[in-house]
Chain A
Amino acid sequence: MVGKVAVIGAGVMGAGIAAQVANAGVEVHLLDIVPEGAKDRDALAKRAVARLLKTDPAPFMTKRAARRVVPGNIEDHLERLRDCDWVVEVVVERADVKRALYARLLPHLKPDAVLSSNTSTLPLAVLKKGMDEDLRRRFLITHFFNPPRYMRLVEIVADDETDPRARDAVAAFCDRALGKTPIPSNDTPGFIANRVGVYWMQAAIGHALRLGLDVEEADAVMGRPFGFPKTGVFGLIDLVGLDLVPYVDASLARALPESDPYHAERAPFPLLLKLVEEGYTGRKGKGGFYRLNREGGDRLKETVDLALGTYRPARKAVLASVDAAKAGGAAALLKAGDRGGAYARAVIARTLAYAIGLAGEVSDDVADIDAAMRLGYNWKKGPFALADSLGLANLKAMLGTEGVAVPAFLDRAIEAGGFYREEDGRLRRLALDGGYVPVERPDGVLLLEDVKRRSDPLAKNASSAVWDLGDGVLCFEIRSKMGTIDAEVLGLMGALPGLVAETGARGVVVYDDGGAFSAGANLGLALFAANVGAWDQIEALVEGGQRAYSALRYAPFPVVAAPSGLALGGGCEILLAADAVQAHAETYAGLVEVGVGVVPGWGGCARLLARYAADPMRPKGPVAPVAAAFEQIGMAKVARSAFEAMEMGLLAPGDGITFNRDRLLADAKAKALTLAGGYAPPEPATLRLPGPTGRAALGLALADLDKKGQLTAHDRAVTTELAGVLTGGDGADWTAPVSEDDVMALERAAFMRLVRTEGTLERIGHMLETGKPLRN
């Protein structure tokens, strides 16, 4: 059990790890050296915390978490380590410095405390040189990825001396408390992810230069089509920092034997060194391969010309191969005859061959190697899954034409029929000996993809499906792109009570494996209908949503919403309608409808009002909930984490938060089962709302904003309608309570008035085209 943590080294990674520990609700000491001549001996750690609070995307899930980080220094505060169960070292990448530090720490460590290093380049064996016997068994490497809050990979490197309990305790803490996926790696240079990833990046740079692609072309090829980050490699280097590239390259090259194919992909890249010298270190600096030129007042996007080394206006890549990929995927891109196709073949053949050849060296487990690339480099598929999807025979043929040696393990996989195989509804991976072994999931991990492997849906349509999770719990899955909600989703949602009754189930979880829980209503369908003036269809969608959400809320079984990623608009209204929420910590929720010129129309207004009125922690009186809801919805506030959602009242006090994405479904299922015992549906809320006088008061507040020039013309129209809904309409006053249904009728009417305006339709269109709200 890890109850308290210390992080030594307050650089970007150390501070980021400390922030994530704090996010998990665990107190963490952040110690660094005392700068020479410093007045404040804790300056480095304090500065690091201040920087964390300003960083975007935010390392802290809520500002309150920052209070759990206790800054200090290693001269005065080593005694604070005494009650720490885990100490992470994140200092400069020099073995001598690290080893000296370990010796200094040792006397202050609890007897069973675990010490780990976050090194990315130094082998475990080197760090342990001369290490005290006692410490050797509780020392390991925990390699996090930047930024630690958002990257889900932590590589764990241990050896035969390591006490399995020490290793497991830290791994379990990383898994459950920090939400990371611990992947065991052998003590080999670069471990798993950087070994494959740095090779990929070097190959991607080198062949782009060799084949004469420009930056945009290379990034268009080596990005989205293969499920790599859509930045492509040059864009990715801008993100991680150009200055890191030579450093990472050199340290990996130093550590690898001469026989390693990595050396063949290294090519001098003087342009990169020149850019770094001129301060173009990437997004953290003045720019990198891409920059925004602000000269002359404009913000002109520019790109480095790889041949000339100078900036020129950015342009869209125009390549037949990239066009081909849009229809035919990666396979079509690899077949293309232009330089984009040649580039793709050169890089993909080498990278996949290299990765396949590493099986048995960095790890025996291809699923682990794949997971490392997914979670550490944001690849959609790891190299083995990618190879399977391209066809192993095709890959082998491509290696032939590219003159790349065929790894023996690839031949074994071709013989066996793939690196993965599904059998009896279970995913199996190819072991080094050529046999298949099941891919194991840890206890408490339930993936919908596994449920799908072993069973058929109870019901499904184009946009949603219902699955049986076992133990009497059903899963309602929204499968549309970005989880958008359309008539199909609402239709199946409406059918849930019947399905529950039919199967004798006891509860429902709303969940999906995708990156977004739900970005809200399908605006495209609504906009098209509005553009042709099919108002009855839109009204039917609003009404249908209200009916389906209310049916969930008042059904005779518990409904647990389990969001991860976006839960916006209609997606957020599901959270408000559910009996309980089990949220992934990385949930971004908000009622953002005003951004597209409407008010929440699926009960969001009514339920947020009811929630604020019922919350004992919030200010009392009839005005407070209305004012709070008006601010929350009117400003389209979005919570940047589940904790913020809790602070905003979008999650209720009894709702749960899960850090590990893979544990979310199991946690939600458990919550549904807990609620199922003696379940009684909630009573519909009665609301006391101020009516016209309250609306007038909100109107004054708006007029104030207006005077300050903070409202656009259409903001005025939308917020005025919102004020009308939240104050209960013309007939309401303090003494006459109104029902949820009354407020929902107001929502509907306001929605229908707004959706007929040009301003709202322009907002919706703009959102669909650009993904950003229009201020009109």
Chain B
Amino acid sequence: MATYKAPLDEIGFVLFDVLGYETAVRPLPGFGEAGADLVRPALEEAGRLCEEVLLPLNRGGDEEGCRFENGVVRTPDGFKAAYDAFAAGGWSGLALDPAHRGQGLPRTLHFAVMEMICSANLAFGIYPGLSHGAADALHLHGTEDQKALYLPRLASGEWTGTMCLTEPQCGTDLGLIRTKAVPDGEGAYSVTGTKIFISCGEHDLADNILHLVLAKLPDAPAGTRGISLFLVPKVLVGDDGSLSERNGVRCGGIENKMGIHASATCTMHFDEAKGFLVGGAHGGMKAMFTMMNAARLAVAIQGLGVAETACQTAVAYAKERRQGRALSGAKEPEAAADPIIVHPDVRRMLLTMRSQVDAARVLACWTGMELDAATRHPDPERRKRADDFVALMTPILKAHLTDLGTECANTAMQVLGGHGYVREWGVEQLVRDARIAQIYEGTNGIQALDLVGRKLPQGTGRLLRRFFHPLDAFIKEHEADPCLAPMTGALKKAAERLRGATLTIARKGLSDPEEAGAAASDYLRLFALTAMAWAHAKTVVAVLPRAGEPFGQRKIALATFYMTKVLPETGALFARIMAGKGPVMGLEAEAF
């Protein structure tokens, strides 16, 4: 089994010391009680649930998987009990509106809890994760009646939610959707069509499942502007919330897939199912983006969660496993061999993981805090700035953190060698589970296109202002400090590369979108590596008073490693971006 201890101290340090949670989040309206005195115990409680309930189920869930029997999906042994415990603990509605029985706690806290869930049991986390996304969409786009009827049951975990987008002919390009919705003359709609790859589309964890389905009205214009969003319950619901008859929704089967075996990936058939319009007619894309953006951040955190577990498992193994001697001479002569952590290349792998995972967590929590500010801050200008920051960081986090998840799982396997490749240590499951996160909710290539094609030009670069201006101010504030000089120097170099690449892509992309497309993935990574360098520099600023303590030394060492061994990749990325589209587009398709 993989090794995992909830990193409570680390999360607390990031929230309270690096990012200033108490002054940034707690003063927001409604969060007055959500201070450190509440957040720390809540995290401990969640950590215990993850370590004691979810982690032990992970291996069995993988081996047993979901089963499809007579139109019903059975989750692996123990999942139902775990889900009930999860719901009973109030975790389902953690960040949902208290007006609808949610806990009303900050997203920042929700992010931290999600990370631990994903570390312990990625497949399990998908069920409540989707419910949260569905609740968000209903909260923002549903009618008051819809909210009153459905939100409390999502918040309590009694019911779960899904997002039904993909169809056999339509993955990334939602304009191709065929599912139809016809007005039934009584204010509702009759929804017909088939959706595939629907996570948690059918299962035995909850009494009802609320499907949010993208479909087209009869008079819909072509393309994505003609999509509407419908709420289609598995079981129809009376005005009082009581369950009545089964709706025309059924699961046609589940996928056999590489990982996340305990998460049911369903084919869903809608056969004149009763649906209710959410948001305006043809307003589906807007509502869908609400779900999608939340889902993309959630998937980013899946990557982070897996990376953390991979990293912890590799470290535990490297300290335990004894092979050979340190190159500088035996470290533990009394033993038959030194632990492999003495070897420079093993250390390189461990530090590459740890230095990135820690920085990724800072970025994720930071974005969570901005998400809280974007919804709760009393000043509309500040809300807009926060919203811009989140919009900018969403594709970056989604792609980079899920890349990191796979990278760390694979690196951990390398550290474990043959023991990583066999089941026992749980690392091969991490490799398989992590892989999907790079694909779903918009492949990482699509994230890169979102970044260069949508986020860069938006407001003529307005979103970028929320990154570059504070970054420049940070460098300026700290560059004279000799203790920080190695950090700010490296950060500044990366920032200039990123700035130059941004201007080049914007200029070339204006006249030739293929130029932007050819640079997109490299650019996203350049952006992410620079942002993580900033996260490290912020971490070092926060830890300077404790520079003499082991914790401080550890943080400074990790930052130093990152700046000198990871960040230089930005030079290569910059060169690749500057090479333009020629090398990518030059070869005729037939010549491949």
Contacts and interface: CB of A to CB of B under 8 A. Distances in A.
Contacts of A532: 461, 464-465, 468, 499, 502-503
Nearest to A762: B381
A260 to B, nearest CB: 37
B225 A323 contact: yes
A679 interface: no
A772 to B, nearest CB: 16
Nearest to B499: A532
Contacts of A529: 503
A65 interface: no
A531 B468 contact: yes
B222 A531 contact: no
Contacts of B459: 765, 769
A319 B221 contact: yes
A97 interface: no
A524 B221 contact: no
Contacts of B460: 524, 527-528, 531, 764-765, 768
A338 B472 CA distance: 51
A81 interface: no
Contacts of A319: 221
Contact of A533 (B222, B282, B499): B499
A527 B460 CA distance: 7
Contacts of B222: 320, 323, 338
A397 interface: no
A5 B47 CA distance: 92
A323 B499 contact: no
A534 interface: yes
A552 B502 CA distance: 34
Contact of B461 (A320, A338, A527, A537): A527
Interface in A74-101: none
Given A527-B460, A765-B459, A533 B225 contact: no
A559 interface: no
A761 to B, nearest CB: 7
Interface string B506-523: 100000000000000000
B71 interface: no
Nearest to B470: A533
Nearest to A529: B503
A320 B219 CA distance: 11
B462 interface: yes
A531 B465 contact: yes
A256 B456 CA distance: 58
Categorize the interface residue count of chain B: 20 to 34
Interface in B215-242: 221-223, 225-226
A318 B228 CA distance: 13
B221 A531 contact: no
Nearest to A319: B221
A456 to B, nearest CB: 23
A747 to B, nearest CB: 23
Interface in B471-512: 471-472, 499, 502-503, 506
B531 to A, nearest CB: 14
A769 B462 CA distance: 12
Contacts of A524: 460
Given A532-B461, A533-B468, A323 B503 contact: no
Contact of B499 (A338, A527, A534, A761): A534
A318 B221 contact: yes
Given A534-B499, A537-B503, A318 B462 contact: no
B507 to A, nearest CB: 8
B285 to A, nearest CB: 12
B462 A320 contact: no
Contacts of B225: 318, 323
Contacts of B282: 318
A323 B502 contact: no
Interface string A745-766: 0000000000000000100110
Contact of B221 (A323, A761, A768): A323
Contacts of A764: 460
A530 B459 CA distance: 12
Contacts of A530: 461, 465
A320 B506 contact: no
Nearest to A756: B469
Q: In this complex, which of A527, A531, A537, A761 has the most chain B Cβ atoms within 10 angstroms of its Cβ? A: A531
A474 B132 CA distance: 67
Which residue, B226, B460, B461, has most C-beta atoms of chain A within 10 A? B460
Interface in A304-318: 318
Contacts of B464: 531-532
Given A532-B502, A533-B468, A338 B462 contact: no
Interface in A294-342: 318-320, 323, 338
Nearest to B463: A531
Contact of B462 (A323, A531, A533, A537): A531
Contacts of B503: 528-529, 532, 534, 537
Nearest to B466: A531
B223 A765 contact: no
Given A527-B461, A528-B506, A765-B462, A533 B469 contact: yes
Interface in B270-294: 282
A533 B492 CA distance: 13
A531 B503 CA distance: 10
A240 to B, nearest CB: 31
A529 B221 CA distance: 37
A769 B460 CA distance: 9
Interface string B436-474: 000000000000000000000001111011001101100
A524 B502 CA distance: 15
B510 to A, nearest CB: 9
A462 to B, nearest CB: 8
Interface string A400-412: 0000000000000
A159 to B, nearest CB: 53
A320 B468 contact: no
A320 B223 contact: yes
A338 to B, nearest CB: 7
B461 A533 contact: no
Residue of A529, A532, A764 with most partner-chain B CB within 10 A: A532
A42 B506 CA distance: 64
Interface in B353-390: none
B544 to A, nearest CB: 26
A460 to B, nearest CB: 16
Contacts of A318: 221, 225-226, 282
Interface in A27-73: none
Among A319, A338, A528, max chain B CB count under 10 A is at A528
Nearest to B469: A533
Nearest to B471: A533
A533 B496 CA distance: 10
A719 B225 CA distance: 44
Contacts of B221: 318-320, 323, 338
Nearest to B280: A315
B461 A531 contact: yes
Contacts of B469: 531, 533
Interface in A480-526: 524
A593 to B, nearest CB: 18
A541 to B, nearest CB: 13
22 contacts: A318-B221, A318-B226, A318-B282, A319-B221, A320-B223, A320-B226, A323-B222, A524-B460, A528-B460, A528-B461, A530-B461, A531-B460, A531-B461, A531-B465, A531-B468, A532-B465, A532-B468, A532-B502, A533-B499, A534-B503, A537-B503, A765-B459
Interface of A: 318-320, 323, 338, 524, 527-534, 537, 761, 764-765, 768-769
Across chains A and B, which 10 residue pairs bring their CB atoms closest together, nearest first? Answer: A531-B461, A320-B222, A528-B461, A531-B465, A533-B468, A527-B460, A318-B221, A320-B221, A531-B464, A532-B468
Given A338-B222, A532-B464, 18 more contacts: A320-B222, A527-B460, A527-B461, A528-B461, A528-B503, A528-B506, A529-B503, A531-B460, A531-B461, A531-B464, A531-B468, A532-B499, A532-B502, A532-B503, A533-B469, A533-B472, A534-B499, A769-B459
